Structure 1
Amino acid sequence: MTIKQIYTGCLSQGAYFIESNGEAAVIDPLREISSYLKLSKKYNAKIKYIFETHFHADFVSGHLTLANKTGASIVYGPNADPEFKAIIAKDNEVFEIGNITLTLIHTPGHTLESSSYLLKDEQGKDNCIFTGDTLFLGDVGIPDVAQRYMGVSKEELAGILYDSINNKIKPLSGDILVYPGHGAGSACGKNMMKETVDTLKNQKKINYSLNGSFSKDDFIKELTDDLPVPPTYFPSNVKLNQEGYKDFDIVLKKSLNPLSLNDFKSLSKNDDTVILDVRDQDVFKQGFIPGSIFIGLKGGFAPWVGSVIKDINTKILVVCEKDFEVETITRLSRVGFDNVLGYLKDGFDVWKKSNEKIDSVKSILPLNLKEIIDSDISLIDVRSKLEREKGLLKNSINIPLNDFDTNTLIKSDTYYIHCAGGYRSMIACSLLKRLGFSSLFDISGGFADIRKVNLKIN
């Protein structure tokens, strides 16, 4: 028996490849399926099943492409209503993979079709459970936005989730391993651990949903209070996962389109087109195409694209470093952004050498900020409310990047902007520049470096 966790850091997402005696299964695959096919070949195992824990909101799954390539059956739990051929399994239905079995355990709450999969080894002993977005390490899945749009309240979902965890997962042996669908950084939970596998025994000690520290009513309140604003692309991804989507290879072939400077400029003039600059933030701030949005590949790229660019059908022009074109298109497609018109051939250098207009973002070190902090300056903190509870600069304005409302800001004013480490603040600076704000300072190193210079922190 083999279990492989294929973890994608950008999405904080775990997919799983399971093999036994020449047969295999994949749980929650990503849209590009090459890694699963390689594992299938490596272990000389035919992929028999593709198990989905639910209709994902935060990424486009690879279930359809993988099924078409391999002939594997797609499996969902009760209440699922896909618009393609799939097995809608019953609670406790058993599936054989070689000499092992996976039992579908219906665990609704995050969504109404959410299910977990209990693996029994060759001896029939419980070995591990794949919990999807039902149970995370140290946390649980928040009530899914797509379900809430359909009229099921967040409180109802939280109550259902409490029952699922306590009636279906908690009674299992503490010796089994828990393999969750996500880790720290995902928008599908509030406060997940950075680890990606743990024993159920340890989770019964530390996870508030399992350790008895909350009554059902308290659990519902804890889970539904201050729910983060979900990215706007979530419902669109649910729709793609439920109804279908283009194969990744088709998207890549269409999008991998090198554009001359003149063609790039011509396409960029359309109001429905966005220039997306994915270079490193320290490179971007020194010079970029006016009006472009920065979201760097070296960070939580895909989720922030989905948060910042509100419509997944937006036409996108890419500015990237050489040889990062395929990676950019791949990571955009993971969250359903398939409408890439192409990329600037030879990158920003060709723009610069042609003496086109260039914009930039000024930066200030926390040490220099310390010298002016007591004067009348405007500080913008783009971190979440939860992050600010652990410390904030006095008189700073909180405008979380995931809900970036600039209506109260004045374009002629000067603003000093920070996040935790510098990535999100540069995204914010690019958005403000695009809106016509000109006097901006990015606080280098963010709040992590601010703490080091003994600035007054509340």
Structure 2
Amino acid sequence: MQIDIIETTGLGDRSYLISAGGVGVVVDPQRDIDRVLALTEKRGVQIALVLETHLHNDYLTGGLELARTVGADYAVPAGDTVAFERTPATDGDVLAAGPMRLRVLHTPGHTHHHVSYVLTDADGAVQAVFTGGSMLYGSTGRTDLVGPDHTDELTHAQYHSVRRLVDELPAGTPVFPSHGFGSFCAATPTSGDSSTVGEQARVNPALTQDEQTFVDELIAGLTAIPAWYAHMGPGNAAGPAPVDLSMPKPVDPAELADRLAAGEWVIDLRSRTAFAAGHLPGALNFELAIANFVTYVGWLVPWGAPLTLIGETGQQVADARRELVRIGIDRLAGAAIGSPEQLAAGRQLDSYPVSDFPGLAAAMAADPDLVVVDARRDDERAGGGVRGSVHIPIHELTDRIDEVPGGEVWVYCGSGYRASIAASLLARAGRRPVLVDGGYGDPDTGAAAAGLHAQPATV
């Protein structure tokens, strides 16, 4: 049997194609199913079975469309109420696909009805386990996505689910989770790119801690939930519409100027330094960096708001489009392609300075009253921050921008990515931002190296 990993780096997730004897099984596919179809063609297999470990909260699934496209059976946890025909996956069921067998284990915790799939050959020998949002590498799936009233119950359930996997499976069983590679569905940071059941027995908190310690520490470590998550579970239960990866309609410079003047969400996909050097007034910078782009567009742009993309090339816009459909942002208002100078059509561009933490230290020494904004999350700020900085997490900035004084504002985050978004939001609001482009924790040029890091009590 061959197991192919299909990475979705922008969301920190993995899907899987299992191949054996010309037959394929797909686990937790993302919505852009053309990647899966291309891989099945390469492997020379026909998909017979598509499996979901749970109704996902961080993306819209491609499972329903994939199953319909290839004529495969579509298995979804039996306890979930959905608006389409499916094969209910119930604890103890064994689903067959060619020489492969997939045994269903109910592993609640990430959701109430979450299941894992144990892959065996026709003789019953265990080959792997697909754990979705249950057992992750050195962690587990978060337990607060169903709602705060269920978090304690589901955290206890997660503890027992992970232990069930260890109790019932050989130590050498390879573990293949769907979350945990940067996904906000992980309860705590994960470690590594591969693992086995036996290794997890030695390192996973659900297996090295007593139950109440595990529950208390997991709940205490839960971070903010991205805003778009609220729409994914209902969308997956209803059944996502077929994916549309076509190019958005073109927007000419005059229309683009009108949209910017109206304060619409117009997103420039270029690098943060290129944007800072020159951009259309009112545009916002969400750099098309695979690991962050879709997370922060989904988190900050109000759901359903008209969204226009600005790209230097058609491919850049197409790549952004692919990222966005994965979380259900389907109806783009359009896209403009070209350089800022071309799209400005004679109008003056805006710009703002870019610096780093040593530059910030020098500026603060010259002006003790300098306004500095920390755009990191609460859990990051809990470890300290630049002394005297105002803490406004990036996902709260649009609602709290009036808290930022007028004039010059320096803004930083953990890497520079969120700070670039914040700087563009501040510029649109009439402030004069300076982007601190650098890693907060960088040992050579970060905040501590520049003498700026202060402990929580003194920030």
What is the TM-score when the length of structure 2 is the normalising length?
Answer: 0.91
1:283-329 Cα deviation digits (max 9, x unpaired): 11112222222111114111111111131x22111101213121111
Indicate how the Cα distance of structure 1 residues 403 and 130 shifts in structure 2: closer, same or farther if over 3 A, else same: farther
Q: 2:46, 2:369 → 1: CA distance?
A: 66
Match of 1:205 among 199, 202, 207: 202
Residue 345 (str. 1) matches residue 337 (str. 2): yes
Q: 1:321, 1:225 → 2: CA distance?
A: 43
Corresponding position of 2:371: 378
1:374-393 Cα deviation digits (max 9, x unpaired): 42222222222333445532
**Partner amino acid, structure 2, of 1:329:** R
1:167-195 Cα deviation digits (max 9, x unpaired): 34444221111111123321112433352
Is residue 119–residue 126 contact of structure 2 (8 Å, CA) maintained in 1?
Answer: yes
Which structure 2 segments of 5+ residues have no match?
Answer: 455-459
1:206-239 Cα deviation digits (max 9, x unpaired): 111112x2x2222221121252121111121212
Shift of 1:38: 1.8
Indicate how the Cα distance of structure 1 residues 167 and 397 shifts in structure 2: closer, same or farther if over 3 A, else same: same
Q: Map 1:143-182 onto structure 2 (within 5 A).
A: 143-145=143-145, 147-148=146-147, 152-182=149-179
Q: 2:436, 2:239 → 1: CA distance?
A: 43
Q: 2:176, 2:396 → 1: CA distance?
A: 31
**Partner amino acid, structure 1, of 2:175:** V
Q: 1:430, 1:60 → 2: CA distance?
A: 29
Residue 62 (str. 1) matches residue 62 (str. 2): yes
The total of aligned residue pairs comes to 446
Question: Which segment is superposed worse, 36-45 or 8-17?
Answer: 36-45
The alignment's C-alpha RMSD in Å is 2.1
Is residue 187–residue 221 contact of structure 2 (8 Å, CA) maintained in 1?
Answer: no
What is the TM-score when the length of structure 1 is the normalising length?
Answer: 0.91
Q: Map 1:256-275 onto structure 2 (within 5 A).
A: 256-268=248-260, 273-275=264-266
Residue 184 (str. 1) matches residue 176 (str. 2): no
Match of 2:282 among 291, 304, 315: 291
**Partner amino acid, structure 2, of 1:385:** D
Q: The residue matched to 1:80 in structure 2 has which SS?
A: coil
Match of 2:400 among 392, 406, 411: 406
**Partner amino acid, structure 2, of 1:243:** A
Indicate how the Cα distance of structure 1 residues 373 and 266 shifts in structure 2: closer, same or farther if over 3 A, else same: closer
Shift of 1:129: 0.9
Corresponding position of 2:272: 281
Identical pairs, percent: 26
Q: 2:18, 2:396 → 1: CA distance?
A: 39
Residue 239 (str. 1) matches residue 230 (str. 2): no
**Partner amino acid, structure 2, of 1:45:** V
Is residue 303–residue 335 contact of structure 1 (8 Å, CA) maintained in 2?
Answer: no
Q: 2:439, 2:370 → 1: CA distance?
A: 17
Is residue 183–residue 195 contact of structure 1 (8 Å, CA) maintained in 2?
Answer: no
Q: 1:190, 1:415 → 2: CA distance?
A: 33
Q: 1:229, 1:444 → 2: CA distance?
A: 24
Is residue 229–residue 403 contact of structure 1 (8 Å, CA) maintained in 2?
Answer: no
Is residue 25–residue 50 contact of structure 2 (8 Å, CA) maintained in 1?
Answer: yes
Is residue 232–residue 327 contact of structure 2 (8 Å, CA) maintained in 1?
Answer: yes
**Partner amino acid, structure 2, of 1:118:** V
Is residue 269–residue 316 contact of structure 2 (8 Å, CA) maintained in 1?
Answer: no
**Partner amino acid, structure 2, of 1:427:** I
